[in-house]
Structure 1
Amino acid sequence: MTEADSALDQILIGELTTPVDPRLHTLVTQILGIARPLGVLFYGSGLRQFDPEGLFDFYIVLERLSDWPASPAAMLANHLLPPNVFYAEHEIDGQVLRAKIAVLTMQQLRAGASPRSADTTLWARFCQPVRLVWVRNPEAADTLLSIIRSCVTTAAGWAARLEEGAHPPEKWWEALFRRTYRAELRVEQSARGSVIMQGQDARYAALTRPAWQSAGLAFDETGGCVAPRLSTAQRLRAERRWERMARKGRWRNVARLIKAAFTFKNGAAYLAWKIERHSGFVLKLSPFEARHPLICLPRLLWRARRIFLSGMQG
């Protein structure tokens, strides 16, 4: 391990082991049931600001896809286009906590963290602050740490190649997140990258130099600004590759949305919660609708439309 890797690990270990609200540990325990994955990673807006009325994002990392209960068709879908996603809610200390959970294997996570990956989905998420809220053993923790480090170095490498000039360290990351939001066809505007950075400038600034060193990038520093030493040809090659990745990424995310229509477990409950959260109206589900959201989707959408119309009419 290089000195730069050690410097990164010092920062990342502190983040991964930072305590979270105890209710989240209870929530994860209830989600897992008897399953024993390699680890559970917590990230996203719920980590940046705890909101018991919001949605918490978790990634369950498995040794094998067969370690998580799923139909053969769902496992095949997860093998071809990871991750599979599902929604869960549990009452914890009198408060209903809700979660969106993604499931994938350690091998899939490692592949998505690599600079060779053509998909930005994983490294763009896990270069951000992450908490390890459940882990099977120290060996799994060490492996997850190394993969999170790879996400950071991959992200930092792309940040260096996609911008020019000299900038304060944190500005390289802000520009990168604008790029990743556009590449992933996210519903949020690309300005969302600035939201991710809020209150985290010092964190990203501290990561920049060791991450570039770990990625094998030399750089210059002048007056608080840093500039990687890259030729015009290197930047052009990176730009061309990024454009190819972005085009494929948009189609890949469309495919994921289509896949989610068939594999998103408890999708009807998620839809009902979103409607209630954003409109204040309750979309009550029958037991059949809750069990068969895809079959009932047209009816659910029609009922949701009536709810919104009634709300607009007072």
Structure 2
Amino acid sequence: MTGALASILSVELDRPAPEAVQALVDEILRSSGPVAAILFYGSCRRSDDPSGLFDLYVLHDGHRRFHRRIVPAILNRLLPPNVVLVRTRLGDHQVRAKVAILSRGQFARRMRPASIDTTLWARFCQPVSLVHVADAPTRSWVEATLADAARTAASWAVRFGPDRGTPAQFWQVLFARTYGAELRPERTNRGGLIYETNAAWFDRVLVQSLHDLGLDASDHEGRLCPAMKRPLGLELDWAIRRVLGRSLNLLRLIKAAFTFENGADYIVWKIGRHTGRTLDLSPWQRRHPLLSAPQLLWRLRRGTGSVGSSV
């Protein structure tokens, strides 16, 4: 990784996290096996919202050593990441985090351009804070792995982006594609909002990543001209990622409904947070999240505001 890209990434990696996040990190370290690194990302980080549900990613070097139990270790090996709810107290208040857990090897493989699963590199080409790291070599590994995510994002952005355009145009096209490859209801301007929260950083990451890839990233009147030929079969390659990506996300939602505390309520809360829509669950739907999922998805696609059922 070039020193220039490492320097750009470090600006955000070193950004201080709220006191609540540090309290949650301390709780994770207290209650789990060895942890290599913990990353803080997501909407609460972008908005500096200290009262929401924080998003943390925990990276480790061994499923059994970290989880200390065989079933979670097997589930995480087969369908990463495992997702758990971590709660602790900060003064008189309870703080919470949605914590995704996977091994360093699983994380690194999903940062590469050949990865079928777009979920992780699409998140970690965005700004994140490194809120815990085991040692200096692990810090260097985190920087190198996130640089892989940035270069992967840049390579896909120029394949789908304009022949000549502003960095904002490339990022917005990319995020529209990656959100479309997930089973996540999002507002149509979601990618633009993410870019606008840290536009200067995104611009620098894109230009440096293109430079690392050996592409002409010359800036002409505020526009980039990467001059990358679109390979044959590009749409087919992405269609495969979209189909498999949505399938993976559906399987993860099903797993979360059964392994995440109050999983059904969390899923509905997440839909509401990303779409602004209020979805109500009946007691039966809370008890049977898998059976009720087809009805919820159908009502959501039809645009029905309330999906509660009297069943």
Q: 1:188 to 1:263 in 2, by over 3 A?
A: same
Cα pair 1:177 1:190 within 8 Å, conserved: no
For 1:252, the equivalent position in structure 2 comes to 248
1:28 to 2:46 alignment: no
Which of 80, 83, 94 is the matching residue for 2:81? Answer: 83
- AA of the residue aligned to 2:147: R
Deviations 1:46-104, CA, capped at 9 Å, x for gaps? 11112233110000000111122254232222112110101122221212211100000
1:106 to 2:104 alignment: yes
Q: CA deviation at 1:268?
A: 7.2
SS in 2 for 1:144: helix
List gaps (5 residues or longer) in structure 1. 286-293, 302-307, 310-314
Q: Percent identity?
A: 37
1:44 to 2:42 alignment: yes
Aligned partners of 2:163, 2:12: CA distance in 1, in Å?
Answer: 30
Aligned partners of 2:56, 2:18: CA distance in 1, in Å?
Answer: 14
For 1:241, the equivalent position in structure 2 comes to 237
- AA of the residue aligned to 2:239: E
Aligned partners of 2:29, 2:105: CA distance in 1, in Å?
Answer: 20
SS in 1 for 2:38: strand
1:267 to 2:239 alignment: no
Deviations 1:5-64, CA, capped at 9 Å, x for gaps? 211100111211111222311121013314330010000011111223311000000011
Q: CA deviation at 1:230?
A: 1.9
Q: CA deviation at 1:295?
A: 9.4
Aligned partners of 1:141, 1:274: CA distance in 2, in Å?
Answer: 31
Aligned partners of 1:90, 1:8: CA distance in 2, in Å?
Answer: 35
Cα pair 1:86 1:266 within 8 Å, conserved: no
Aligned partners of 1:49, 1:258: CA distance in 2, in Å?
Answer: 29
Which of 72, 97, 100 is the matching residue for 1:74? Answer: 72
- AA of the residue aligned to 1:134: H
Q: TM-score with structure 2 length normalisation?
A: 0.82
- AA of the residue aligned to 1:29: D
Aligned partners of 2:85, 2:125: CA distance in 1, in Å?
Answer: 24
SS in 2 for 1:27: helix
Aligned partners of 2:176, 2:286: CA distance in 1, in Å?
Answer: 37
Aligned partners of 2:270, 2:214: CA distance in 1, in Å?
Answer: 44
Q: 1:215 to 1:38 in 2, by over 3 A?
A: same
Cα pair 2:46 2:197 within 8 Å, conserved: no
For 1:65, the equivalent position in structure 2 comes to 63
Cα pair 1:12 1:145 within 8 Å, conserved: yes
For 2:160, the equivalent position in structure 1 comes to 162
- Report which stretch shifted further, 181-190 or 53-62: 181-190
For 1:16, the equivalent position in structure 2 comes to 13
Q: CA deviation at 1:108?
A: 0.4
Q: 1:199 to 1:260 in 2, by over 3 A?
A: closer
- AA of the residue aligned to 2:201: R
Cα pair 1:178 1:193 within 8 Å, conserved: yes
- For this pair of structures, how many residues does the alignment match? 287
Q: CA deviation at 1:125?
A: 0.5
Aligned partners of 2:213, 2:110: CA distance in 1, in Å?
Answer: 16
Aligned partners of 1:195, 1:123: CA distance in 2, in Å?
Answer: 18
Aligned partners of 1:271, 1:111: CA distance in 2, in Å?
Answer: 27
SS in 2 for 1:228: coil
Q: TM-score with structure 1 length normalisation?
A: 0.82
Deviations 1:231-250, CA, capped at 9 Å, x for gaps? 24x2x433321121111111
Q: CA deviation at 1:279?
A: 11
Cα pair 1:123 1:151 within 8 Å, conserved: yes
Q: CA deviation at 1:269?
A: 8.0
Cα pair 1:55 1:100 within 8 Å, conserved: yes
Aligned partners of 2:170, 2:151: CA distance in 1, in Å?
Answer: 13
For 2:124, the equivalent position in structure 1 comes to 126
